[in-house]
Structure 1
Amino acid sequence: MIYTRIVGSGSFLPRTVVSNNDLANDLLYRGIHTSDDWIVQRTGIKQRYLAESDIDTSYMAVESAKMALIDSGIDASDIDLIIVATSTPDCIFPSTACIVQSKLNAKHAAAFDLQAACSGFVYALSTADSFICSGKAKNVLIIGSEKFSRILDWNDRSTCVLFGDGAGAFVLTASSDYGILSSCISSDGSMSDILSVSGHFENGNINGYPFIKMDGQSVFKNAVRVLEESAREVCDKACVDIKDINWFIPHQANIRIIKMLGRRLGVEDDKLVITVDKHANTSSASIPLAFNVAKLDGRIKNGDLVLIQGVGGGFTWGSSLVRI
């Protein structure tokens, strides 16, 4: 049996760190009142990284990919496929993945972008798993990279405090031993209006609202529900008891969602990997960023069983159960 194994991970964060107090002071000039206490109590976020004007999505993707390739010991020339999960591509086309492929000199890799909002990395992981297990690819590079600061309305306190920029990457390879044990991805387009960016180009103009719009209560309620169902589904598929999971890495959107989900699943707090306080919500980059933090600090070790989950606009969600 062929498994998809994670053999390398990497991450990139911009230089500029913006604390809640920094953000509150900046918003005050716009007549918008918020505070560190208000943000922390509702979200758990204490700071975020914001990309400078000369840093784009592909640059962050490339930097995280370089780290992941070094970690894996696999050369870019041996990569068969590159998938970049992003909602903030450099341009309409070419794909950000093709730009990354060129900058990495990954000459033998096919490349495409995948858009599933904050679920993008889990979708990319599931897609890569299908390529590898079917024998269509041996080595795959998947990246979540987002410059969400480009699509924030800085006059909307309910959304502009939530997001940050960054990128994370995995190198995946075929293995006969262990790796991804089960995956599932799902969607419900009837909920597309609770989290969206409706703006679009038409005849050289931007039509619609080109910033994030969110119904926070609906997102919270539905995120917890679908993620609980998804977690149980992947564990059932793999015949694994949730209590046997070593680490749980959910999408880093809101500490209250993470903690409530943990309680519903019976996952102890010390098994939760939480980076939302430092990174804020980096959309498709949040999972690989959190994974890399826990790997570098020694928490995630070879042989560990890790549950990974994403949820986002679409409405989309998914889970993967991985033996590291």
Structure 2
Amino acid sequence: MSDTASSKQVEDAIAAVPGWDRTKVTKRPLVGGLLNSNWLVHHAGTDYFLKVFGVGSDSFVDRKLANEAASKANAIGITPRVEFFSLEKGVEVIEFLHGYRASTNADFSRKDFLSSVIDLYRKFNACERLSVTKDVFAMTDEHIEQGEALGAIRPADFELLSYQYNRAKAAFVAAGLDLVPCHNDAMPGNFMVKMSEQNQIVDMKMIDFEFASNNERAYEIGIFLGEVFVDEETTLELIEQYYGTVRQDLVARVWVARAVADMKWGSWAVQQRQMSNWDFDYQKYGIWKYARARKLFDDPRWNDWLRHI
């Protein structure tokens, strides 16, 4: 998306927000975001975060569902309020979180950051179900099909990766999916944190519900633990914090879901490479995700995990 197109959409959005006076609005672009164009907008003494939806993102983002999930999360106090949402204009205006910053990979070397995210997941996963169920297997299958249609470039051993992925899918389907509202996007930057002068967490909120749906509970945890590179001891501690126990079947579900998450995001990235104009190496990211999935498929415990699900 060009800067000109983004600016025009912002102007259209500003004109559409009820009660806003365009003559009292200032705006500037914000850095970050792989799908959308983000802006800081100031109106009548108040700052807002404005998101312009990325071109082509509607092919894999259900914007109405994302808005529904964000509304549920705001109702329980774990995400900022959506002030304005318009599919027609391709934008949303969100409460700006003053005093908060985006978490980083480095932050998640701290147990308090890890624990705070697990608490957020427990709260959101306990909400009433969303209107749409789309589990990780449906997502992954969709991305694979999209990639095939777009001519995505995949690893030479993709057939073997797919075989193990389908074994994981069969194991979960046979055992039964534990479907709950899930955020489904564990990037560190999706957790906004307010810190004290003593560098302690005062509050944390979850943002960006574009991939939200009813999904397998273990996937929510598995993708997060993989994204922040926790070791096995910490993995067990966080599983216990989330579930209240460390049963063999729960541990197996989280580890297998973690591998499936890498297949999902690898397949998303290589097809995104074929359609996105953003300056980001989606192909490199996707091949890296496939490599992470391969490592878990090759783990000597893989077959045991599948059996214990």
**Greater fraction strand:** 1
TM-score, with length taken from structure 1: 0.26
TM-score, with length taken from structure 2: 0.27
